[in-house]
Amino acid sequence: METRIRNNEHLKERSKSFVISSNKTVIKIKMTPQNTINKSDFENNARKSDNKSDDCKEMFLTKRIGTDYSYKHQIVWKNAIGFLFLHLLALWGLCIMLTGGITIKTFLWYLLLTFISTEGVTIGAHRLFAHKTFKASPALKVILLLAQTMAGQNSVFIWSRDHRLHHRYSDTDGDPHNSKRGFFFCHIGWLMMKKHPYVLNLGMRIDMSDLQADWMVMFQKKYYYYLYFVLAVFIPVFVPCYYFGETFRTSLLTCYFARYIIQLNGTWLVNSAAHLFGTRPYDKKLQPVESWFVSFISLGEGWHNYHHAFPWDYKAAELSMHFNQSASFIRFFERIGLAYDLKTADSELVRRRVTKSGDGTHYALGNEKDQNSVKAIGILHPLNPSYNVVYTAPEAVLEDKGLPLNHENDVFDPSVAKRKTATA
């Protein structure tokens, strides 16, 4: 990266600017004493970025990044209509299952596929590739890459890039699914709209060198759509037709459309419900929350306040047996020699974070008043923890460099995280 600094002397007292350029991108950063930006300049560059999509070359960044509620995302109608039809077909398939229109073998096959694809995202794309919370043998990496492909949530490389961007600029305009824009946007709407200019440009700055150096990840990225057709469409539909006597239509509607959309919505709940509705026992300044319901649906991904506080922890939760099947599987893989070097946050570090920054609802270290404010109707009810917890997270405003990503270059400060051989 070549850096050139251009000074404008006659405006020196009023503002400073510099240009960072490379052979692919040019990012122009303008800083004023008030850390603000000219609105017309921002709007002009936003339009340019929308027109150029991922190849956009230039944008203005303020010194601090938050949520600009005046910015309106443009709808990508082909995506919106496509998701509408996918959900209608999935609803048709769900009705077939609920009315007993499939054999028990097909239903068990559907459950198996849903479980495998969900773990491919949770253990594979999320905890292994995006956060590097543990290391995997080549055999386990292949299994997880195949399972993640079955989920149909894009390649591991793209999934991890978006997720790292989400953590670095969480709940700001640099976050692909910024929860500050409401439930619908962070659940599915972000996939129906053009990306914010910040998402496009900041995404180019995320370090992906570790995955670029992994030939398995890059192979999956290169041949993703071929692999997806075989693993997510052909095999799931073929098996019930050939072995269980299902019709092609029934098999397609249940084992592809219904499975795909239901599993997608389970993952999307982590971006939406687990950022909006629940408690913040570890850090009340973070938007993400703890949610029993989301953890049950997503096999352990709903302990999101903890995860954003300690993103390097393989459990993605403080309590590994707390609706956290994914953590149990990682420990199982470790016992049979397929996973190793599991990372977890030190208990003393967790205690200090809870005491200093928590909202008072921690199961052991919280106070009675805040704990009693959490009302629930059954531990698996969507309203558990309560969605009317008194504390509301503040607007997220970050420096333009974003939050640190603890997976980068696999460097861990011993005072922050420790590597350990996990025990049950």
190/10: higher pLDDT: 190
The whole-number average pLDDT for the span 24-34 is: 35
Give the range with max mean pLDDT: 8-17, 314-323, 371-380: 314-323
Q: What is the pLDDT of residue 64?
A: 81
Banded model confidence at residue 145, pLDDT cuts 50, 70, 90:
very high
Give the HSE-up count for residue 151: Cα atoms under 13 Å, Cβ half-sphere: 30
Instruction: Kindly tell me if the per-residue pLDDT of 83 is higher than 90.
Output: yes
Percent pLDDT > 70 in the chain is: 75
pLDDT of residue 391: 56
- For tokens 């944008």, what's the residue? 59
> To the nearest 10°, the Cα dihedral for 153, 262, 176, 216?
-20
Q: How remote is the C-alpha of 135 from its chain's centroid?
A: 20
Top pLDDT among 54 and 190 is at 190
pLDDT band at 370 (very low <50, low <70, confident <90, very high): confident
User: Using 50, 70 and 90 to split pLDDT, how confident is the model at 190?
Assistant: very high
**Among positive and negative, which fits the CA dihedral 406, 409, 411, 417?**
positive
Question: What residues pair up with 341 in beta bridges, in sequence order?
Answer: none
pLDDT at position 412 is 39
Decide which of 389 and 279 is more confident.
279
In the 8-state DSSP scheme, what is residue 346? -
For residue 31 the two structure tokens come to: 């800083």
> Is the distance from CB of 323 to CB of 300 less than 8 angstroms?
yes
pLDDT band per the 50, 70, 90 thresholds, residue 193? very high
pLDDT greater than 80 at residue 333: yes
- Residue 82: φ, ψ to 5°: -60, -45
CB 111 within 8 A of CB 119: no
Structural tokens at position 400: 């333009």
**Residue 351 confidence class, pLDDT cut points 50, 70, 90:** very high
Whole-prediction pTM? 0.80
> In the predicted model, what is the mean pLDDT of residues 198-218?
93
